[in-house]
């Protein structure tokens, strides 16, 4: 990065004396054409989220050309409904991947938690909210168990969660009992995936979010300005906010012409946004990145590495449980294959397509949302084109491999920049 950035700094805007202090260098570094700089960053593999947006745009273009129904408001609303569960699970997967670990049990945990919720609600007559709380607690406890076992006994998480994958699947069958399938009737549970925001409420939510983003950005700039620190160029702030506003208002406009904004999608976006803040703005989040980047360095810096790992596994399992509940709410039922099949693999593939490193320390929870959108779009589009599952799996696999290959190529590019 430094090697790249120095070029425009000396050649471009400041031909005068070489900068001598860090602050001056910072200032020089941030001048120059922001668009050129962005393109360069993109080529250097630094803007993973932008690249996945390009992949997503390509997929949408291909499907909208091949099927006129793909880009309709009804189908896009369906798409948001389809990805809510897997996207939620993926958020937890991103957290685990940031540590450089893996959690193979998220699919099974989602199935078990959904089974617990369904059985408590239907067979034991529990209140819907209480049943969902119990389901989340089951997920949380599983995460605590798996995290503690792997940190205390120093067993690789791959093994611990593989054992979990088998065990929790068994537990799910046991909980469901002889009937196998449990149909959910509780309003509270079904509302999660069944409720849509009224058109006006959709607009209000979007406006509030955009307002909050603008307010936060202004505050951020004012604080940095007051402290005399380097500001990102105004253009990039404006572009980012305008992009977010366009996506939000555009999205609301599209889905409002159908059924409105699905509650489950609002929940997914809220989860992603909150975990983004947790990861990037709090001490805990910083520690997650540190442990994923260099666990020994983190330990020496006084970070409680085992505790950070355990908490992350608890969060991942809890999110998996919630994803399972969202899926159950959408299907009106929990059966023996809930949480099974390709759910785990898609939940991991999504963030990886969006550029989350499997080796830890690099990635963003937005990758969970964007990755789920990519995979969901492929699945949705191929369904519209009446392709069979065989083709669907192969195409998804190819996209995954392609995205990771692109990542590997650009990462290699990036490491050679280091002087």
Partner 1 sequence: MQGGGHLVSPSAAVTPSGASAPGAGAAPLLKLRGITKTFGAVRALDNVDLDIFPGEVVALVGDNGAGKSTLIKTVSGAGPATSGTITFDGKDVHVRSPSDSKALGIAAVYQDLALCDNLDVVENLYLGREERGQNQPFSRLDEVAMEQHAIELLGELQVKTLASVRTEVGMLSGGQRQSVAIARSLLGNPRIVILDEPTAALGVAQTAQVLALVARLKERGLGVILISHNLSDVFEVADRIVVLRLGRNGGEYPATSDQRQAVVAAITGVGVDSPQAVEAAKGAGTSSAAAAQGGLTKKDPS
**DSSP states of 61-92:** HHHHHH-TTTTSHHHHHHHHHHHHHHHHHHHH
Nearest distance in Å: CB 313, partner 1: 18
96 within 8 A of 356, measured Cβ to Cβ: no
Min separation Cβ 200 and partner 1, Å: 32
Residue 270: CB atoms within 10 A of its CB come to 12
Closest to partner 1 by CB, 21 or 390: 21
Q: Give the nearer residue to partner 1 in terms of CB position, either 97 or 138.
A: 97
Q: Nearest approach, Cβ of 98 to partner 1 (angstroms)? A: 9
- Cβ closest to partner 1, residue 123 vs residue 220: 220
The least CB distance from residue 6 to partner 1, in Å, is: 6
State how far the alpha carbon of 152 is from the alpha carbons of 138, 218, 300, in Å.
21, 45, 18
Q: How far is the CB of 281 from partner 1 (least distance, A)?
A: 5
By beta-carbon proximity to partner 1, the closer residue of 60 and 289 is 289
Beta bridge partners of 262: 196
Which one, 179 or 274, has the nearer CB to partner 1? 274
Is 6 or 259 the residue whose CB approaches partner 1 more closely?
6
Instruction: Give the residue with the Cβ less far from partner 1, 259 or 286.
Output: 286
From CA 373, how far away is CA 270, in angstroms rounded? 16
Task: Write the burial class of residue 174 (CB in 10 Å: 0-12 exposed, 13-18 middle, 19+ buried).
Answer: exposed
Shortest distance, CB of residue 233 to partner 1, whole angstroms? 14
How far apart are CB 299 and partner 1 at their closest, in Å? 9
Q: Say how many C-beta atoms besides its own lie within 10 A of residue 134's C-beta.
A: 19
Q: Which is nearer to partner 1, 225 or 402 (CB)?
A: 225
- How many Å apart are CA 351 and CA 371, to the nearest integer? 5
**Residues engaged in binding partner 1 (CB under 8 A):** 1-3, 5-6, 9, 20-23, 25-26, 29, 223-224, 227-230, 278, 281-284, 286, 289-290, 292-294, 296-298, 300-303, 360-362, 415, 417-419
Minimal distance, residue 91 CB to partner 1, in Å = 17
25 or 259: whose CB is closer to partner 1? 25
Q: Distance between CA 66 and CA 174 in Å, rounded?
A: 45
Take residue 352 and report the two structure tokens written for it. Answer: 């990886």
DSSP H or E run through 37: helix 34-43
Closest to partner 1 by CB, 8 vs 251, is: 8
Nearest to 371 by CA among 395, 350, 357, 396: 350
Question: Nearest 5°: CA angle at 320, between 319 and 323?
Answer: 85
Cα dist from 413 to 1, 49, 406, 417, whole Å: 11, 18, 11, 7
In whole angstroms, how close is the CB of 275 to partner 1 at the nearest point?
A: 12
Phi, psi of 218 (to 5 degrees): -60, -45
Under a CB-based contact definition with an 8 Å cutoff, are residues 396 and 387 in contact? no
Q: State the residue for tokens 């393109």.
A: 39
Query: In the complex, what is the shortest distance from the CB of residue 360 to partner 1, in angstroms, rounded to a whole number?
Result: 8
């Amino acid at each position: 990065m430094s090697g790249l950035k120095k070029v425009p700094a000396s050649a471009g805007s400041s031909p005068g004396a070489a900068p001598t202090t860090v602050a001056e260098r910072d200032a020089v570094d941030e001048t120059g054409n922001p668009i050129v700089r962005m393109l360069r960053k993109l080529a250097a593999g630094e803007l993973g989220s932008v690249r996945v947006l390009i992949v997503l745009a390509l997929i949408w273009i291909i499907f909208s050309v091949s099927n006129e129904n793909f880009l309709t408001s009804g189908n896009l609303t369906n798409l948001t409904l389809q990805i809510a569960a897997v996207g939620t699970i993926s958020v937890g997967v991103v957290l685990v991947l940031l540590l450089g670990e893996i959690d193979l049990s998220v699919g099974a945990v989602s199935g078990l938690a959904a089974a617990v919720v369904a059985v408590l609600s239907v067979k034991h007559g529990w209140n819907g909210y209480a049943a969902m709380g119990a389901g989340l607690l089951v997920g949380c406890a599983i995460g605590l168990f798996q995290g503690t076992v792997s940190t205390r006994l120093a067993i690789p998480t791959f093994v611990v969660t593989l054992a979990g994958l088998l065990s929790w699947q068994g537990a799910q069958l046991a909980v469901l009992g002889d009937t196998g399938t449990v149909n959910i009737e509780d309003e509270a549970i079904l509302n999660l995936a069944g409720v849509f925001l009224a058109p006006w409420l959709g607009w209000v939510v979007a406006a509030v979010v955009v307002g909050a983003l603008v307010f936060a950005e202004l505050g951020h700039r004012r604080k940095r300005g007051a402290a005399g620190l380097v500001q990102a160029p105004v253009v990039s702030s404006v572009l980012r906010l305008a992009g977010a506003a366009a996506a939000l208002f555009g999205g609301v406009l599209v889905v409002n012409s159908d059924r409105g904004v699905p509650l489950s999608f609002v929940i997914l976006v809220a989860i992603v946004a909150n975990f983004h803040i947790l990861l990037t703005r709090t001490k805990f989040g910083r520690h997650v990145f540190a442990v994923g980047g260099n666990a020994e360095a983190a330990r020496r810096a006084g970070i409680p590495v085992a505790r950070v790992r355990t908490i992350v596994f608890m969060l991942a399992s809890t999110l998996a449980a919630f994803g399972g509940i969202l899926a159950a709410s959408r299907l009106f039922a929990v059966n023996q294959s809930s949480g099974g099949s390709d759910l785990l693999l898609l939940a991991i593939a999504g963030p990886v397509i969006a550029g989350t490193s499997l080796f830890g320390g690099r990635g963003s929870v937005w990758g969970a949302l964007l990755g789920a959108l990519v995979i969901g779009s492929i699945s949705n589009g191929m369904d519209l084109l009446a392709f069979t599952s065989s083709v669907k799996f192969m195409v998804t696999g190819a996209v995954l491999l392609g995205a990771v290959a692109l990542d590997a190529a650009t990462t290699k590019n990036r490491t050679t920049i280091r002087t």
